[in-house]
C-alpha cells in the first residue's frame, strides 16, 4: 500500500494494489474508488484532501509489513 499526496492539487491517492484500475466510481464529492478488472478495490483518490483528512500525522498500528518512509 502506498499513500501519495500531491500538494499542487491537494489530492491524496491511496494505492492499495499494483494492479491497474479499469473502473472508477465517485462515491462522494471528490472521493473516487478505483477497481481492477475483477472488481477489487485498488485505489482511493481524495480531492481537497487537506479539508477531508488529517494529513499532519500518520499512525500505523500492528501492520505485518515493512515500512518505508519517504519525505520530501
Q: Is residue 44 part of a domain?
A: yes
Give the list of residues 6+ apart from residue 46 with CB closer than 8 angstroms, or none.
11, 12, 13, 14, 30, 31, 52, 53
- Calculate the dihedral angle through the C-alpha atoms of 65, 30, 18, 41, rounding to the nearest 10 degrees: 80
Confidence of residue 57 (pLDDT cuts 50, 70, 90): confident
Q: Is residue 70 part of a domain?
A: no
Q: Is residue 30 part of a domain?
A: yes
Give the count of domains, the chain.
Answer: 1
Q: Is residue 71 part of a domain?
A: no
pLDDT of residue 62: 81
Q: Is residue 7 part of a domain?
A: yes
Percentage of the chain modeled with pLDDT above 90: 72
Give pTM, 2 decimals.
0.85
Residue-number span of the structural domain to which 12 is assigned: 2-52
Q: Is residue 63 part of a domain?
A: no
Amino acid at each position: 500500500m502506498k499513500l501519495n499526496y500531491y500538494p499542487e492539487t491537494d489530492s491524496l491517492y491511496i494505492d492499495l494494489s499494483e494492479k491497474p484500475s479499469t473502473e472508477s466510481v465517485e462515491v462522494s464529492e471528490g472521493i473516487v474508488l478505483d477497481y481492477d478488472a475483477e472488481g477489487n478495490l485498488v485505489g482511493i483518490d481524495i480531492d481537497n484532501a487537506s479539508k477531508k483528512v488529517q494529513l499532519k500525522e500518520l499512525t500505523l498500528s500492528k501492520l505485518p509489513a515493512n515500512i518505508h518512509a519517504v519525505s520530501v
